[in-house]
Amino acid sequence: MTKAVAESFPMNRGEGVYSYTQNSSHQRDGVNSSKAVIDEAIAEKLDILKFSTSDPFTIADFGCSTGPNTFLVVQNVVDAVKLKYQKCPSLSMHIPEFQVYFNDHIDNDFNTLFKSIPLEKQYFAASVPGSFYDRLFPKASLNFVHSSYALHWLSTLPSELLDKNSPAWNKGRITYANAPDEVVKAFKAQFAKDMSSFLNARAEEVVPGGLMGLLLIATPDDIPSPKSIFAGLFDLMGSCLMDMAKIVRDVQF
């Protein structure tokens, strides 16, 4: 098993005004727009003939947070898979039961997640806490893997960004916007390492014929990331967060 210790920064817990539950409509829009792509992939690529008719159909949402977006995703997948079985002459009478695993870091507010799980859900639900950069499931045990707005979370900050003697020293900034190439390279290298840990772990866990749907923020190849619209926004947000942290530090000491 791989072992990568990922830092954990959970979303705001509960259902209050500042909670993730009440402040994730942007991610919900993304999840809704990816529905058609997922439906099509399930209809055309999910190889249900390879699955045993006596096993449940297992779905895992990696980086699920506290809801409600994860419930939308899961219901969409369940509906699309059921439709696929109904349309398959040899399997239309063998629609499987569904087992859903909600994954996030151990610090995630799983209580809010389970309190708000839809009453009319048509699946068994369980949580699997831990970093998705590690193995979390037995070999060949997942039929459908999903993750949205989570894989841009690096497992750790590249250490050279904090090293004043390194050309990749980021001078205390928390983004790569308008930073030297070495800073961008350090972020890219960490992302590549993390993605490969994620994909290697899932490669073991997904059953033959299974599928994976990943939704993450990206920029077109011809726009260098540090110059993209996101970089500008993150630079602004980064400087606000640094100011806030400085105020808290000055007040404390």
Ligand X SMILES: C[S@@+](CC[C@H](N)C(=O)[O-])C[C@H]1O[C@@H](n2cnc3c(N)ncnc32)[C@H](O)[C@@H]1O
Closest residue to ligand X using C-beta atoms: 63
Q: How many CB atoms are located within 10 Å of the residue 234 CB?
A: 19
Rule CB under 6 A: is residue 191 a binding residue for ligand X?
Answer: no
User: Which part of the chain contacts ligand X (CB under 6 A), choosing from 65-73, 89-97, 229-237, 241-249?
Assistant: 65-73
Rule CB under 6 A: is residue 14 a binding residue for ligand X?
Answer: no
Alpha-carbon gap, residue 58 to 144, rounded angstroms: 6
Rule CB under 6 A: is residue 190 a binding residue for ligand X?
Answer: no
* H or E segment to which residue 67 belongs: none
Cβ partners under 8 Å of residue 75, min gap 6 = 118, 121, 122
Rule CB under 6 A: is residue 109 a binding residue for ligand X?
Answer: no
Cβ partners under 8 Å of residue 16, min gap 6 = 22
Place of tokens 């994954």: 103
Alpha-carbon gap, residue 150 to 46, rounded angstroms: 23
Rule CB under 6 A: is residue 76 a binding residue for ligand X?
Answer: no
Rule CB under 6 A: is residue 137 a binding residue for ligand X?
Answer: no
- Return the residue of 133, 144, 176, 187 that touches ligand X, per CB under 6 A: 133
Rule CB under 6 A: is residue 70 a binding residue for ligand X?
Answer: yes
Rule CB under 6 A: is residue 6 a binding residue for ligand X?
Answer: yes
User: Which part of the chain contacts ligand X (CB under 6 A), choosing from 142-150, 164-172, 176-184, 229-237?
Assistant: 142-150
Short-list 168, 194, 157, 165, CA closest to 4 = 194
Two structure tokens written together for 252:
């404390």
- Return the residue of 60, 150, 211, 212 that touches ligand X, per CB under 6 A: 150
Footprint on this chain of ligand X (rule: CB under 6 A): 6, 10-11, 24, 27, 31, 63-65, 69-70, 103-105, 108, 131-133, 148-150, 153, 155
